[in-house]
Amino acid sequence: GAVVSQHPSRVICKSGTSVKIECRSLDFQATTMFWYRQFPKQSLMLMATSNEGSKATYEQGVEKDKFLINHASLTLSTLTVTSAHPEDSSFYICSASYNKGTAQLIYGYTFGSGTRLTVV
């Protein structure tokens, strides 16, 4: 259980275009989803936290107008990289927190398989 599907796994786009990445929770409702970015040989860096039905919270230094996050349902969050540039090339990963049981105990976080974005 608690599977997150991320799509696409790889995308190449031209500089100046926009790219949308989807993150779906397949067998649970994800009230909170997180978006990370990972550059080569570096660790994951949190970009933003999205809660269903409300605006995302962005980490310091992450441009909210460039990285648009939509979490319109309990099973889908999208990240749109607008006007992409080569420096936006990175590995983008989403994750979702999930609850189990009536005690609302969060069991942890499950991650998508990641999206390799290359901007040329």
Partner 1 sequence: DAKTTQPPSMDCAEGRAANLPCNHSTISGNEYVYWYRQIHSQGPQYIIHGLKNNETNEMASLIITEDRKSSTLILPHATLRDTAVYYCIAEGHGQNFVFGPGTRLSVLP
Query: Where along the sequence are the contacts to partner 1 (CB under 8 A)?
Result: 4, 6, 32, 34, 36, 42-46, 49, 91, 93, 95, 97, 105-106, 108-114, 116
Q: Which is nearer to partner 1, 72 or 106 (CB)?
A: 106
Cis peptide before 40 (omega within 30 of 0): no
Rounded to an integer, what distance in angstroms lies between the CA atom of residue 88 and that of residue 99?
33
Q: Which is nearer to partner 1, 32 or 80 (CB)?
A: 32
Rounded to an integer, what distance in angstroms lies between the CA atom of residue 93 and that of residue 114?
4
74 sits in the region (left: phi over 0; alpha: psi -120 to 50; else beta) called alpha
Smallest distance from partner 1 to CB 21, Å: 12
Smallest distance from partner 1 to CB 43, Å: 4
Q: Which is nearer to partner 1, 75 or 115 (CB)?
A: 115
